[in-house]
Amino acid sequence: MTDTIVCIKQVAEVEDADIVLNDDKTGVLKDDLVMGINEWDSYALEEAIRIKESSGGKVVALSLGDEDCQDILRRALAMGADEVVHIDKNGFEGSDAVGVARGLASVIGKRHFDLLLTGVQGSDDGWGQVGIILAEILDLPFASLVVRLENHEDHLTVYRELESNTQQIVELPLPGVVTIQTGINIPRYVSIMGIRRTRNLPIAGTGAGQLGLMNSEIGTEGSCVESRQLFIPSDEANAEMLEGTLSEVCEKALSIIREKGGTD
Amino acid sequence: MIPQRELFWNIQGVWIFYLLVSVSILIFAAGMLARVLSWARGGRGLKYSFSLNCLSDLLLDVFLGRRIFRNDPGAGTSHLLVLWGFLGLFAGTSMLMVDHYLYHCLTGLSYLLFSFLMELFGLMLISGLCWGLVRRFIFKIGRLEKRWADLVVPLWLLVAALSGFLLEGSRMAAQEPAWGGWSSAGLLTSYLWGGHDAALSSYRIIWWAHALVSLGLIAALPFTKLFHMLASPTALYMSALPEEAFLPEQTVKAGQALSKRALVFLDACTRCGRCTEVCPSAASGEDFSPRRFLLSARKREAVNYGTLPAAFLFGKRDVPAESGESIYNRIWNCTTCGACADACPAGISTIEVINCIRSEAIEDGTDVPQLLAKTLESLTKHDNPWGAHRKKRFEWSQGLSVPSISGANPPDGLCYFAGCTTSFDTRAQMIARSFVSILDQAGVNFFCIGKDEPCCGDIARRVGEEGLFQFQMENCVELFERWDIRDLVTSSPHCFNSFKNDYPLYMSRDDSQKAGSFRVRHYTQLLKELLEQGKIRFERSIPSRVTFHDPCYLGRYNNLFDAPREIISAIPGVEMVEMEHYGADSLCCGGGGGRMWQEDMTCKVTISERRIAEADAAGAQMVITACPLCLITLEDAVKTAGLEQTLRVLDLNELILLAMGKREK
């Protein structure tokens, strides 16, 4: 039996979309963007469900965000989560990773669990910190960048992905925190009917006020990081079209690759 | 002496015979009942309706064996002989009972006629069986399997028939009737016995042997391939009925994955292999065959949810390697071209069975091919399977000033539904660009939906994502109602088929008016009308040998074979040639059934390359098609086959525009 809590985040899908910044250059206009579960979190969620399927226990999915993020919580229910909790974003605007982690920890800390999973990072902000700060706040051991996980009930054996295709094997006592890297599994497909069937299942809601968090702990006020400006780097016209016969093009391509040190 | 025959002549212990009859009928009835009841387990039902046409078709198919004769007169002859022989002997034996217990009618001339006919039926049965056995085991016809059942069952029938003749012979040797000439085969057999006494003692033994073999056959019927006598006609009748729509909130319980009809299909299969012969996937050397798939699905059902006879046949403990998840590996090859269903003498739609199991796999979610899952997610999020942003949907019309929905008033005229692939794929966009140019020049009042055009949901339905299909359908219907769109024309035969055949199944469930609220045509139909009205005029000669590739969802699914051919033939200079497979017998391009959005399958030669090889063999310089998926797959195949210099793949719109002497605006 392994009770797992998994933190998931809703992000904008930017593949094939033209990004437009808002007027004060602090964020991206989301009107035309489709929202979905953060890629890393979808792997963490799948891993949590797989642990439940093989070892038993409960899965609780947790998300901090606006009303829309209930979509990904329903998706979690459809995948097999037993319970989902939505922390309202109100008061958390402008939070740094610590502020977000405080919000999540104030829900997680009141619950029993053996394993806490998060994605390695969010595809939007790319901090890669929340999971690790959560471990700090909850005073639990952690392993990051995990690409393989073996559950032994009282402890885990996890494989961490390091540089240059090396991996590190770590024994992690439970309860503990693991941040999940993409590719650890293949997240299952969630059908529309599966999601429709969760329509009447409850989503527990809570917020900064109910959790007893002070303004000085979260939001802009509690943040030690301030976003100055968001910008889109200008396109650089460095493309060179190679012309000539096939073998000439190949020769030229090869010499360019050599020149740049590509064949060393 | 009046010619007639005494029942139970010289037989003692008739009560034992009747005991055996009761036992065999009991086993027969229990087996039949169990198998028929097992069909009720299926999840999705059918809308039963009675139609005299369906019934007369069924009777002709069953009693004349029309579908069995098709493409294989040898098989048709063999089956017809066995069928009529069997039926005749069965009816004759029943007649004997009537004659003995109810009304003595087999006397005099009617008896002589009776015995002559019984001999004829017996000889038909024997010759049919022998011909079948020779075809299977001596001529070794490729599609016919050689399992034990294929030998034992016909031999059993053969023994029953031959023992009948021996019985008759021994009886005639003992009785020496004056009218023996009416039963010449029996008379011939009677010479086997030298004298009256020897014949009489053999007669008794043979009588009991014949009874046992025949009664055993009746008892075994529900448990052997002979069960197809009931299952195949049932399947054939059901195959013509419309299926019941899937309810959105319906939870599929274990064992309900297959529809009722699919369960009948599984029982109706006689393993004849005609499906595998025509399957484009099997012919390409992919690890798939419709027959193998049906058999493993049948085995899976029997093992997991086995009823009495199934448990008897397979044994619950004997879980085959092909059960459980692994059947999921076999469901994604099917292009849903429908060739197998057309070829099947029992009308089995392998596609329906596959679609049921695809639905099961989709709802389970853990074993969906990754690219397909990504495609479906893209459809959910972006309203198209191509992962393109929805804002870019109308970019194909750039520079053409195509009227689209805007403002508050519903536009009037014809609505051109471009469809996802035509809108997003750069090659397929030429279909839309050519089509609107033709419409313009023909003076047709039309408009497009524009960037809010939804996906029709065809791909979702083909891969078993029922919920997503219904979601897309609701989007489309809602949009058509909002803008009062009542006349549609599509580029893709897939959208066309969805609107025309799939939507009504679902819409009529809760709102019967909606089902008929819009008319949909494929562009080939519209273009043919425009040609007939003289609105399209060909001003340029195209001196080229041209062949037409029938898209499955236009041809086989909707019987539209002629319109595109008539248009092509009307173009001056064109020499129309046909490929080896064309019309109802056409060969799939390999892009349907969700195959467009899957990883390539391991094969000897791709499905589309086979098709292109046929076009090349026909000496064609142009392959014309009328479907965006066919256009993309076939053009790819021309490139991989290295035929770019000699063979061009064009959409019919592009060809027409060329012949009109116009460039796209």
- Which two tokens mark B580? 């080896």
Check pLDDT > 60 for residue B70. yes
Q: Give the B window 43-102 contacts with A, CB below 8 Å.
A: none
Instruction: Answer whether A192 sits within 8 Å of B366, measured CB to CB.
Output: no
From B590's Cα to the closest Cα of chain A, the distance in A is 24
Please tell me which of the candidates A13, A17, A194 has its beta carbon nearest to residue B363: A194
The predicted model gives B609-637 an average pLDDT of 96
Start-to-end C-alpha separation, chain A: 51
pLDDT confidence band for B425 (50 / 70 / 90): very high
pLDDT digits (tens, 9 = 90+) for B101-110: 888 888 888 8
- Which two tokens mark B386? 């191509």
Q: Is B475 an 8 Å CB contact of chain A?
A: no
A196 neighbourhood in chain B, CB within 8 Å: 248-249, 467
Please tell me which of the candidates B248, B362, B466 has its beta carbon nearest to residue A189: B362
State which H helix or E strand residue B564 sits in.
helix B562-569
Q: What is the pTM of this model?
A: 0.90
Instruction: Answer whether A194 sits within 8 Å of B466, measured CB to CB.
Output: no
Q: Which residue of A has its CA nearest to B381?
A: A34
From B363's Cα to the closest Cα of chain A, the distance in A is 6
pLDDT for B511: 55
State which H helix or E strand residue B477 sits in.
helix B466-482
Classify domain B370-529 at the CATH class level.
Answer: mainly alpha
- Fold of the domain spanning B14-229: Fumarate Reductase Cytochrome B subunit (1.20.950)
CB B620 within 8 A of CB B590: no
pLDDT confidence band for B446 (50 / 70 / 90): very high
Candidates A186, A189, A190, partner chain B, best to mutate (most B CBs within 10 A) = A189
Q: Number of CB pairs < 8 Å for A and B? A: 55
From A262's Cα to the closest Cα of chain B, the distance in A is 30
pLDDT for B179: 80
pLDDT above 90 covers a percentage of chain B that reads 65
Compute the distance between CA of residue A64 and CA of residue B253 in angstroms, rounded to an integer. 35
Instruction: Answer whether A189 sits within 8 Å of B373, measured CB to CB.
Output: yes
Of A105-109, A224-228, B147-151, B592-596, where does mean pLDDT reach its minimum? A224-228
Instruction: Answer whether A191 sits within 8 Å of B365, measured CB to CB.
Output: yes
Check pLDDT > 60 for residue B209. yes
From A119's Cα to the closest Cα of chain B, the distance in A is 20
Q: Which residue has the higher pLDDT, B596 or B250?
A: B596
pLDDT digits (tens, 9 = 90+) for B260-283: 899 999 999 999 999 999 999 999
Check pLDDT > 90 for residue A228. no
Of A46, A21, A41, give the one whose Cα is nearest residue A31: A21
SS3 B21: helix
CA atoms within 13 A on the CB side of B413: 15
Query: Is domain B536-659 annotated with CATH 3.40.50.10700?
Result: yes
Compute the distance between CA of residue B468 and CA of residue B464 in angstroms, rounded to an integer. 9
Q: What's the mean pLDDT when you consider all of chain B? A: 89
pLDDT for B313: 55
Compute the distance between CA of residue B569 and CA of residue B385 in angstroms, rounded to an integer. 35
CB neighbourhood size of A147 (10 A): 18
CB B350 within 8 A of CB B294: yes
B44 neighbourhood in chain A, CB within 8 Å: none
pLDDT confidence band for B318 (50 / 70 / 90): very low
pLDDT digits (tens, 9 = 90+) for B6-50: 777 878 888 999 999 999 999 999 999 988 888 888 877 777 777
pLDDT for B109: 86
From B333's Cα to the closest Cα of chain A, the distance in A is 19
Map out the domains of chain B as residue ranges.
Answer: 14-229, 248-364, 370-529, 536-659
Candidates B363, B371, B463, partner chain A, best to mutate (most A CBs within 10 A) = B363
B389 neighbourhood in chain A, CB within 8 Å: 16-18, 32
Check pLDDT > 90 for residue B579. yes
The CATH code belonging to domain B248-364 is 1.10.1060
Exposure of B433 by Cβ count < 10 A (0-12 exposed, 13-18 middle, 19+ buried)? buried
pLDDT confidence band for B516 (50 / 70 / 90): low
Candidates A193, A195, A196, partner chain B, best to mutate (most B CBs within 10 A) = A193
From A225's Cα to the closest Cα of chain B, the distance in A is 33
pLDDT digits (tens, 9 = 90+) for B140-185: 999 999 999 999 999 999 999 999 999 988 888 888 888 877 788 8
pLDDT for B304: 75
The predicted model gives B567-580 an average pLDDT of 96
pLDDT confidence band for B249 (50 / 70 / 90): low
pLDDT for B255: 66
Instruction: Answer whether A193 sits within 8 Å of B382, measured CB to CB.
Output: no
Please tell me which of the candidates A16, A186, A197 has its beta carbon nearest to residue B251: A197
